[in-house]
Amino acid sequence: MNFKMLSVVSAVALAMPTLGAAGPDDDTLIINEEIEVVTKAEPAEHLDGALYEVISGWHFRNDDTQAIEMDDFDNPGMLGVENAMATWNTAEGSAGKSCADCHGDAAESMKGVKATYPKYDEKAGTVMTVQMKVNECRTERMGAEAWKYDAGPAIDMEAMIGSQSRGMQMNVAIDGPAKPFWEKGKEIYYTRYGQLELSCASCHEQNYGNMIRADHLSQGQTNGFPTYRLKNAKLNGAHSRFKGCIRDTRAETFSPGSDEFIALELYVASRGNGLGVETPSVRN
Amino acid sequence: MASGVKPRVKAPKTASAGEVVTIKTLISHKMESGQRRDSDGNLIPRSIINRFTCDFNGTNALDVEMHGAISTNPYFEFDVTIPESGDLQFTWYDDDGSVYEDVKSVKV
Amino acid sequence: MGFSRRDTLALGAGAIALTALPLRVGAAGEDAIAAFTGGADVSEGGITLDAPEIAENGNTVPVGVSADGASAVMLLALGNPNPDVAVFNFGELAGSQTASTRIRLAGTQDVVAIAKMADGSFASATKNVKVTIGGCGG
């Protein structure tokens, strides 16, 4: 038995409730009593047995936090979505165009976008995130300035676009031209960083279900991003979350929008293929 | 500070006479508590919404005195008796003197 | 917030490390209560206070109060630098003497609700809320 298999076995054992560690709960996520969201799924083939089940971070939060996500009115992340909806309809830049002028109703044109992003872009010859795509429209089609990565307006727009895919299952492509980017993301995921020599996998693959300090470790999935966090009471981007996680291991980190984080976002998203989109999710 | 503050109210559009309905309100606001320090160690001055009221056709249902311990984006859920057709009036009072209002009509 | 080696060694132990602060109604809390009650006696019961036993984050803690027949309910967080949270005054058209909101708690502490009843008496309920120290800083 090789080391990897061994650690998988121990992670499974530790996640068993009988050992005192609180595993994911069995609640069902239905938003607005209407949108059913798949929060537990069969692992994608590429995971090669590393996870026996793919589980949304929603299951690792307590009932109060879970409830806030289940109703759009209670979910303060929807304030960001509403802001972006107003931006969507407002002309900006030298071309005097709004997003709506070209894309019409976001509920139609942006449906399914989040489920397939990050995505390889032929023209750009690279993998692009939703925020990069939005900035491409702003700079090349609207004559407007690019938004700063993961900053307020960019995150609100990403959340608005993401919310149009709620309930649809994540399905990012990892083959063909996306493959080298995905490989790079995977390498980062398993690299041990910092003084503590921890990789993403040390926490989110080998120890999900366990407590670190008083925090219930999830699988670190991105199906709910951007996420409204109770901690800072605002919408947070996936790259900002990655940054915080790496910083916690006392390592030098990459920046939001960097090539490393784009590749990592693709890889992490692919680990959650099959999970329903929750954007904007609510976490602690 | 008063920029970008937007009230949201969830209330039923219809009710029967005398019915008790549940109202939810959420308003986007930082609620700077006056307890936090900036990176130079100076206290950030308090800037909060300090009062919220809900009236129906001019009669009060709820009047809340609010302090810095109310979370960012203040949220309230409460019950109102609807005696007749009319307007629910919601008012939030900011430290800086701004007043934010919303009105929802209810038909009996 | 970073992790120490000890934290990471504790991974897998399933231990919840909670720091319980000793409860004291500080002078500020006493002043706030006295201002509300005018120094009258406060009895237990007649009011319910809903708050989580463990809050996932002290920045946004859901709480609810309910006191049949109350004209007002004061909510206090005794462990906060300023214990005042809110006073709910119920008007003529209040459908019930019930309200909920989300509050900030600076650490594990007692949350107190005091109802002023229509007959001028006072009733209180107290709930200890443990505030957990989060793991991931992101």
Which residues in chain A have Cβ-Cβ distances shorter than 8 Å to B28?
76, 79
Q: Name all chains with 3 or more CB-CB pairs below 8 Å to chain B.
A: A, C
CB neighbours of B100 closer than 8 A, spacing ≥ 6? B5, B7, B27, B49, B91, B92, B94
Phi, psi angle pair for A258, to nearest 5°: -75, 160
Q: To the nearest 5 percent, what fractions of chain B are helix, strand and coil? A: 0, 55, 45
Tell me: the pLDDT tens digits for A15-41? Answer: 333 233 567 898 999 999 999 999 999
Number of domains in chain C: 1
- Provide the mean pLDDT of chain A: 90
CATH number at residue C37: 2.60.40.2470
pLDDT band for A1, please (50, 70, 90 cuts). very low
Single-letter residue type at B20: V
Q: What value does the mean pLDDT take over residues C53-81?
A: 94
Q: Find the domain containing C83 and state its range.
A: 5-131
Chain C: residue nearest B36 by CA? C81
Chain B: residue nearest A80 by CA? B28
Chain A: residue nearest B73 by CA? A76
When computed from its CA atoms, the radius of gyration of chain A, rounded to whole angstroms, is 19
Count other C-beta atoms under 10 Å from residue A221's C-beta: 25
Determine what percent of chain A is predicted with pLDDT higher than 70: 92
Q: Is A22 on the interface with C (CB under 8 A)?
A: yes
> Is the predicted pLDDT of residue C2 greater than 60, yes or no?
no
**Residues A54 and A60 sit within 8 Å (Cβ to Cβ):** no
State which H helix or E strand residue B77 sits in.
strand B75-82
Q: What is the pLDDT of residue C24?
A: 52
Q: Is A8 on the interface with C (CB under 8 A)?
A: no
> Is the predicted pLDDT of residue C12 greater than 50, yes or no?
no
pLDDT band for C136, please (50, 70, 90 cuts). low
CB contact under 8 A, C81 and B20: no
Q: What is the pLDDT of residue A267?
A: 98
Give the residue from A8, A64, A213, A268 with the most C CB atoms within 10 Å of its CB, the best one to mutate.
A213
Would C119 be classed as within a structural domain?
A: yes
pLDDT band for A251, please (50, 70, 90 cuts). confident
Would C137 be classed as within a structural domain?
A: no
Q: What is the pLDDT of residue C4?
A: 53
> Is the predicted pLDDT of residue C83 greater than 60, yes or no?
yes
ipTM of the complex: 0.94
Which residues in chain A have Cβ-Cβ distances shorter than 8 Å to B8?
73, 79, 82
How far, in Å, CA of A89 to CA of B10, rounded? 24
Tell me: the pLDDT tens digits for A203-220? Answer: 999 999 998 877 899 999
Domains delineated in chain A: 41-95+102-282 (1.10.760.10)
Take residue A118 and report the two structure tokens written for it: 């990050």
State which H helix or E strand residue A102 sits in.
helix A99-103
How far, in Å, CA of C21 to CA of C31, rounded? 21
Q: Which residues pair with B74 in a beta bridge?
A: none
Would C63 be classed as within a structural domain?
A: yes
Take residue C10 and report the two structure tokens written for it: 């504790």
Q: Per the residue annotation, which of A245, A248, A251, A284 is the catalytic one?
A: A245
Domains delineated in chain B: 6-34+44-106 (2.60.40.10)
